[in-house]
Amino acid sequence: MALPGLAPSSIDWRIQAAVGIVATGVAVVLLVRFRERPVVFAVAAALLEVGLLIAGRGLVRPLVPGGLLTTGGIDWLRSFLVILLPGGAGIAILSWQGWWASSGFTAPSQWRRLRLLWLLGILLILPALSLTQGIHVRGGTLILATVYLILATGLEEMFYRGIALRASISIGVLPSVLISSLLFGASHVNNLFTSASIPPAYVLLQAWQAALVGIFLAGVRLRMNAIWPTIAAHAAYDLFPLVVYWVYAFRYQVTAAEFWWSTAFGAAFAAIGLFLLRGAKPSIIPMELKLR
């Protein structure tokens, strides 16, 4: 998840903006020059998302006054503006390539294997259990957090279970899933530029677990021929613990036990994702009809 803004990052905004702009520029060049190279295109799309997030986090600090829409310790206006940048880029890529349907943005009539929805339900059992401790976010903050998470997780699904999978599927299903999942995990490095209050160890653990769970989400998305269920599950997965622990969820110190537990949890679902994809071929994604 692209974390919402808490206390400003200790990194100077000029450095953040420069790093993000350079990454974005490199990504655009790769996307244009190597659009026929599946893996390069997938990596470039991921770099574009990360670059825009980092650049946005830097640029909003001098350009957008803080405190205009702040509740629960989070500057929501800046946070929404940051994720809208890569969101617009993802929409542009899908429209440019004509990949909307083949990236999973399909109508319910085109969905397959609806019984796999129960697997998404199992994924949500553990985070849902945290709700037994009560929801500690109320009113407008809860609404803003929910909308933000839907947009932020929708952005990630669009890039990694949508664009990256579609771009690289021609090299094989399993390689494509592994590449997109590794890129998904690596993309969380952008959160190192989010706030000085977020421990780097938390971001690294988040990236590791995201890469593992990403394999499972890719398996469900491909078998169902739909990205909407994974967007919903991803949003709920991030939302449940957030509304219980709130900003403390981003600040806890990672322990060895936490690392091994997260690894076991992620590995179990990664194994399920790989099992779902046994024998799958690139044709699992219905391709667009090319006009000649």
Res 71: pLDDT: 76
pLDDT tens digits, one per residue of 62-102 = 888 877 777 767 888 888 999 999 999 999 999 999 999 99
Largest CA distance in the chain: 59
Helix axes of 117-129 and 200-224: crossing angle, nearest 10 degrees: 160
Domain that holds residue 155: 13-284
Q: Looking at the domain assignment, is residue 226 inside a domain? A: yes
282, 276, 285, 251: which is closest to 122 by C-alpha? Answer: 276
Q: Sort 148 into a burial class: Cβ within 10 Å, 0-12 / 13-18 / 19+.
A: buried
In a domain, 26, yes or no: yes
40 within a domain of the structure (yes/no):
yes
Q: What's the pLDDT tens digit per position in 26-46?
A: 999 999 999 899 999 999 999
Q: Is residue 3 part of a domain?
A: no
pTM for this entry: 0.92
**Overall domain count for the chain:** 1
Q: Per-residue pLDDT averaged across 97-124, rounded?
A: 95
289: in domain: no
